[in-house]
Structure 1
Amino acid sequence: MGIEDAGPGTVRPGGRTARVRASVLRAAGDALAEHGFAHLDLVDVARRAEVGKTTVYRRWGTVTGLVADLLLEMAEESLPRTETGSLLGDLKANARLVQRTLADPRQGALFKAVLAAATGEEKTAEALHRFYDTRVKEWAPCVQQAVDRGEIPQGTDAHEVIRAVSAPLYYRLLTSADRLDEAAADRAAEAAVAAARAGAYLRGDDGHA
């Protein structure tokens, strides 16, 4: 995304303004986790961050602009992929990272709030899509390496495999009160590997995708 395409709050500031951005985004994340998107208020965020409300309005403009920047920061700050030498090892590392994030009281509540908002807010949905696109692209090379090693078939859609790992974890977060633990993460990774080996994620003429 070029600067000319960026909406309010999506251009990362540098220098002294970085501290303000960090404080405001931390405050926005806390407010989202506590009260949800519907009650997110720029004046309250400014108060929490101990910055002037004019600064917040000038830099982010709207609640959706602020949430978009929060998601951008989360994507940028997420841990890089782990490469263990096997597809199962790599995908378990991916699944456990997702599990730890969603099981965290603050982060889990924050993601629930953003997911709920994305169903009715187009700009929030676009920001959420960019967040997941960034994370999927970060981990997709693990799948391509598995193709190159001969672990899974040529033509496997790497992005679909990565999505398949986290999908059951998000489903459990949103539909169940059961604890989201490492065992659930490992099962998600094992299922994705088994499906990939069976050719479930082949692209185009190579399969069904």
Structure 2
Amino acid sequence: MEEPAQPVTARPGGRTARTRQHVLDAVTALLVEQGYEALTVDAVAARSGVHRTTVYRRWRDAGGLLADALDAAREQPWEPPDTGSLAGDLGEINRQVADALTGTPPIAAALIAASFRSPTAARALRSFWEDRYARAAVVVHRAISRGEATTGTDPRTVIVAACAPVFHELVLMRAPDTEDLAQRYAELAAAGTAAAGGTTAAGTAAAG
């Protein structure tokens, strides 16, 4: 069973921040080049130039290293797009998801795959997505104010309806990222939201 990693609570600047960046750069490089099996404290220390004792003391193991890489991604500034329509906003979000999943090097895909190997990393990935759903909720709130969705529409349900097919196509089906992929599923989600007259959180729970 994976030993819990030591929490990384401080986010100071200066030398500590540089050390963290060197380590996390090594983590993503090793994941992309060699996979989860290559992600050890010794390998990260050698790749980053950070002393093994420092890596072990702060990150403890592969799970702690992965979790902090995901935490670092969550800390990056991100604001949802504002195109003036729900379909447009969801389309832009979908394009960002597609770009991340098909990027070169495939850092996002490697982190997601590796998270299945570590409970610590899986919790960090869940936290990342919870943060993104919370930030993206504003696109649905704007849609409500424009009359594209009714009061009580559940933002997370709408966003998942738009984004999940993109993940399914690109990651599970290994389909190509076609020019219309992101917008096609965004428009389906927006049309479904309008046709349903709003998807409430309570209704979603009752249906499940």
TM bucket by the smaller chain?
A: 0.7 to 0.9
User: How far did 1:205 drift?
Assistant: 4.8
Q: Which residue in the other structure is 2:172 paired with? A: 175
Asked if residue 77 in structure 1 is aligned to residue 71 in structure 2, the reply is no
> Higher mean Cα deviation, 46-55 or 9-18?
9-18
1:57-96 matches, cutoff 5 A = 57-77=56-76, 79-96=78-95
**2:199 aligned counterpart, secondary structure:** coil
Query: How far apart are the structure 1 equivalents of 2:115 and 2:20?
Result: 22
Query: How far apart are the structure 1 equivalents of 2:30 and 2:113?
Result: 15
CA contact (8 A) 2:5 2:120 kept: no
**1:64 aligned counterpart, secondary structure:** helix
Provide the aligned C-alpha RMSD in A. Answer: 2.2
Structure 2 unpaired stretches of 5+: none
**2:67 aligned counterpart, secondary structure:** helix
- Give the counterpart letter for 2:40 in structure 1: D
**1:181 aligned counterpart, secondary structure:** coil
Q: Which residue in the other structure is 2:47 paired with? A: 48
- Give the counterpart letter for 1:164 in structure 2: A
1:169–1:9: structure 2 CA closer, same or farther, 3 Å change rule? farther
> Higher mean Cα deviation, 195-204 or 86-95?
195-204
Query: How far apart are the structure 1 equivalents of 2:137 and 2:192?
Result: 16
CA contact (8 A) 1:168 1:188 kept: yes
Q: Which residue in the other structure is 1:163 paired with? A: 160
Q: Which residue in the other structure is 1:146 paired with? A: 143
CA contact (8 A) 2:66 2:115 kept: no
- Give the counterpart letter for 1:76 in structure 2: E
1:205–1:74: structure 2 CA closer, same or farther, 3 Å change rule? closer
1:170-189 Cα shifts (integer Å, max 9, x gaps):
11222223222342111121
**2:167 aligned counterpart, secondary structure:** helix
Structure 1 unpaired stretches of 5+: 1-5
> Higher mean Cα deviation, 196-205 or 138-147?
196-205
User: How far did 1:55 drift?
Assistant: 1.2
1:113-134 Cα shifts (integer Å, max 9, x gaps):
3333433432221111001011
TM-score by length of 1: 0.86
**2:200 aligned counterpart, secondary structure:** coil
Asked if residue 111 in structure 1 is aligned to residue 108 in structure 2, the reply is yes
1:10–1:83: structure 2 CA closer, same or farther, 3 Å change rule? farther
- Residue identity over aligned pairs, in percent, reads 35
> Higher mean Cα deviation, 92-101 or 192-201?
192-201
TM-score by length of 2: 0.87
